[in-house]
Amino acid sequence: MHNISTIFRREFGSYFATPLALVFIVFFLVLAAAFAFQFGNFYDRGQSDLAPFFSYHPWLYLFLIPAISMRLWAEERKSGSIELLMTLPVTTWQAVIGKFLAAWAFAGVALALTFPMWITVNYLGDPDNGAIFAAYIGSLLMAGGFLAIGACLSAATRNQVIAFIFTIGICFAFLLSGFPVVLALFEGWAPQPVVDAIASLSFLTHFQSISKGVIDLRDLLYFATVIGVWLAANAIVLDMKKAD
Amino acid sequence: MIEIKNLSKRYGALTAVNDISFTVRPGEVLGFLGPNGAGKSTTMKMITGFLTPTSGSISVCGHDVENDPLAAKAVMGYLPEGAPSYGEMTVRGFLEFIANVRGLTGDRRRARLDDVVGRLQLGSVLEQMIETLSKGFKRRVGLAQSLLHDPQVLILDEPTDGLDPNQKHHVRTLINDMAKDKIIVISTHILEEVDAVCNRAIIIAGGRLLADATPKELAARAPSGRLDDVFREITTGQKNAA
C-alpha cells in the first residue's frame, strides 16, 4: 500500500509538472462544453438534465484518454527510467496500480472540473441530481476502462505515438460493439443472445445504462472486470519485455 | 556477499552472457571490464533483478534475486547505464521519491538526504528540474539515488561516463571512501579507473568471463606491464579464436 501511494503521488505530480495537465484539462473542458451546447442542443431541448453533455463523453474519451495513457510506460521505456523503477524494491503490480490510479485520478480531476455544467442545469431548471451523479460515476468508470487499455498498450512500446494510435483503435472497437449500426449487422442472422453478448461487451451499453441514473451491480462489475483484465495484461507485458 | 553461479542470458540465437560464475565479498571493489557489447550491462541488469536470467542463479546478501527480489533489491543500490531518472522532477522531489520507496523516515531520512546531497555536491541544484541539468549533474543525481539508503551492495554501471576529469576524480574518491565494508561492482571501459578504485578486476568479452584477478596481477601478464595491453590481448584474442 505504501509503495502504491508513493508511486501514485510521483506519477500524479508529474502530470502537473509539465504543461500537459493544463493543455489536457482546457481541451477537455472546451470540447465537453462545445459538444453539449452545439450538437447536444443543451438549451433547445428544453429539458433540465445533462444527457446532451454526457452522451458525448465516450467520443471525447476516445481521443483524449489515450493522450493521458500513452506516456504511462512508453515514456519510462524511452528514458530508461523503467530500469530504475523496476530495480527499486517495488513489485510490478504496485507499479502498475500506482501508475494507473494516478492517471485515473487525473482524468477524475478533469471530469470534476466540468461542475459548472451541473450548476448551470440546476440554475436553469430542476434536474434529477441523483441521475446526474450516477452519470458522473459512469463517466469516471468508463474513463478507467479506457485508461486501463491505454496503460497496457503503452507498456508494449517505447513509442508514445504508437501507443496513442493503438489505444484509440482498441477503445474504438470497445465502443463500436454497442453501436446500433454495428448491432444491426448481426441482428438479421445471429441469434439474439449473441447480439446481446456483443452489445454487452461495449463501454457504450454500460455507460448509457448507468447514465440513465441506475447504478446496476452488473455495470459496475463490467467496468471492474475490464480494468482488472487490462491491468493484469499490463503487468504481464511488462514482465515479458522489460528491457526493450 | 554476491554469489553468481553459472549465469547465462540468451536472446533467441544470441548469447549475451555465457555461463559466468563469481563471488564478491565485502570490502571488494570489483571492476567489470570489457569491450562494448561484452555483456557487462546485461550481467548487472540480472544482478539487480531487472532482467531474468535464462539459467543460473544470483544471490545477494543471502537473498535469491529471482525468488526473493524485494529483499535483494532492498540491500542494493543501483546506477543503471546512462543514469536514468525522471526529468520533469526537481532534484529534491526525485530524491524524496526514492527516500519514500526506500522506506526512509524521520531523522535517518533527513540525515541520509543531507549526506548524499553533500557528498555529491547537489546543494546548488536541489530545486532545479533534472532535465535542465548538465550531464555531469544528472550522473551525480543518479549516484545520489543509488547511495540514498546506504546500501550494503552498490552496482554502478559506468558511474563516471560523461563526467569531466575533476568530477571523475571526485566520484573515484567517493567510491574509495565507501569501499571499506561494502560490496561495490562498477562497470567501465576506462582502464585507468580500474587502477584508481578497484582491488579486483574481471574481464568479460563475448559474454564469457576471461580473467579474474587484481589489477596488478593482470597488468603483470603483459611484458609492458600495462593494463591496456593485457586488456587488448585478452579481449581481441577471444575474437580471433571465435
**In chain A, what are the domain boundaries?**
2-240
Residue A230 has pLDDT above 90, yes or no: yes
> CA-to-CA distance for B56 and B64, rounded, in angstroms?
11
Interface touch B80/A89, C-beta < 8 Å = no
Nearest by CB to residue A79, choosing from B74, B84, B93, is: B84
CB atoms within 10 A of CB B115: 14
Helix (H) or strand (E) holding A228: helix A217-240
- Res B2: pLDDT: 95
> CA-to-CA distance for B80 and B78, rounded, in angstroms?
6
Average pLDDT of span A228-235: 96
Helix (H) or strand (E) holding B33: strand B29-33
Local confidence band at A183 (pLDDT 50, 70, 90 cut-offs): confident
Local confidence band at A244 (pLDDT 50, 70, 90 cut-offs): low
The pLDDT > 90 percentage for chain B reads: 69
**How many alpha carbons fall within 13 Å on the CB side of residue A9?**
12
Nearest chain A residue (CA) to B47: A87
Nearest by CB to residue A14, choosing from B45, B74, B88, is: B88
- The reply to whether A78 touches chain B by the CB within 8 Å rule is no
Nearest chain A residue (CA) to B90: A17
Q: Is the dihedral of CA B185, B191, B193, B197 positive or negative?
A: positive
In whole numbers, what is the pLDDT of chain A averaged over residues? 89
What is the homologous superfamily of the domain B2-82+153-241 according to CATH?
A: P-loop containing nucleotide triphosphate hydrolases (3.40.50.300)
- The reply to whether A92 touches chain B by the CB within 8 Å rule is no
Interface touch A87/B49, C-beta < 8 Å = yes
**Residues paired with residue B185 on neighbouring β-strands, in sequence order:** B30, B155
Chain B: give the shortest CA distance to residue A101, in Å. 17
> CA-to-CA distance for B21 and A206, rounded, in angstroms?
57
- The reply to whether A89 touches chain B by the CB within 8 Å rule is yes
Helix (H) or strand (E) holding B201: strand B200-205
Local confidence band at B241 (pLDDT 50, 70, 90 cut-offs): very low
Q: Which residues of B touch A16 (CB under 8 A)?
A: none
Q: Could you tell me the three cell numbers for B7?
A: 549465469
Q: Does residue A178 or residue B172 have the better pLDDT?
A: B172
> CA-to-CA distance for B142 and B153, rounded, in angstroms?
16
Interface touch A80/B84, C-beta < 8 Å = yes
> CA-to-CA distance for A95 and A92, rounded, in angstroms?
5
Among B231, B241, B226, B233, residue whose Cα is nearest residue B34: B231
> CA-to-CA distance for A55 and A35, rounded, in angstroms?
9
Among A32, A208, A196, residue whose Cα is nearest residue A120: A32
Q: Angle, nearest 10°, between helix axes A203-211 and A217-240?
A: 140
Helix (H) or strand (E) holding A73: helix A71-79
Among A182, A207, A106, residue whose Cα is nearest residue A151: A106
Nearest by CB to residue B70, choosing from A10, A84, A89, is: A89
Average pLDDT of span A88-117: 95
- The reply to whether A18 touches chain B by the CB within 8 Å rule is yes
Among A214, A242, A23, A20, residue whose Cα is nearest residue A132: A214
Average pLDDT of span A161-187: 86
Q: Is the dihedral of CA B84, B85, B86, B91 positive or negative?
A: negative
Q: Which residues of A touch B89 (CB under 8 A)?
A: 10, 13-14, 17
Chain A: give the shortest CA distance to residue B29, in Å. 21
pLDDT tens-digit readout, B52-67:
999 999 999 999 999 9
**How is chain B split into domains, by residue range?**
2-82+153-241
**Residues paired with residue B3 on neighbouring β-strands, in sequence order:** B23, B59
pLDDT tens-digit readout, B126-147:
999 999 999 889 999 999 999 9
Q: Which residues of A touch B10 (CB under 8 A)?
A: none
**Residues paired with residue B5 on neighbouring β-strands, in sequence order:** B57
- Res A168: pLDDT: 94
- The reply to whether A241 touches chain B by the CB within 8 Å rule is no
Chain A: give the shortest CA distance to residue B56, in Å. 19
- Res B242: pLDDT: 37
Average pLDDT of span A87-107: 96
Q: Which residues of B touch A79 (CB under 8 A)?
A: 84, 86-87
Do residues A115 and A136 make contact, with C-beta atoms less than 8 angstroms apart?
no
Do residues B166 and B90 make contact, with C-beta atoms less than 8 angstroms apart?
no
Do residues A237 and A92 make contact, with C-beta atoms less than 8 angstroms apart?
no
Across A200-211, b (16+ Cβ under 10 Å) vs e yields: ebbbbbbbbbbb
Chain A: give the shortest CA distance to residue B136, in Å. 17
- The reply to whether A14 touches chain B by the CB within 8 Å rule is yes
Nearest chain B residue (CA) to A1: B101
Q: Is A189 exposed, middle or buried (0-12, 13-18, 19+ CB in 10 A)?
A: exposed
Average pLDDT of span B197-212: 91
**Tell me, what DSSP letter sits at residue B153?**
E
Nearest chain B residue (CA) to A95: B101
Interface touch A80/B82, C-beta < 8 Å = yes
User: Which chain B residues have any C-beta within 8 angstroms of a chain A C-beta?
Assistant: 45, 48-51, 70-71, 73-74, 76, 78, 80-82, 84-89, 93, 97-98, 100-103, 129, 145
Helix (H) or strand (E) holding B69: helix B69-75
CA A113 vs. chain centroid, Å, equals: 16
- The reply to whether A19 touches chain B by the CB within 8 Å rule is no
Do residues B77 and B148 make contact, with C-beta atoms less than 8 angstroms apart?
yes
Interface touch A14/B86, C-beta < 8 Å = yes
A10, A15, A87, A240: best to mutate for the B interface, most B CBs within 10 A: A87
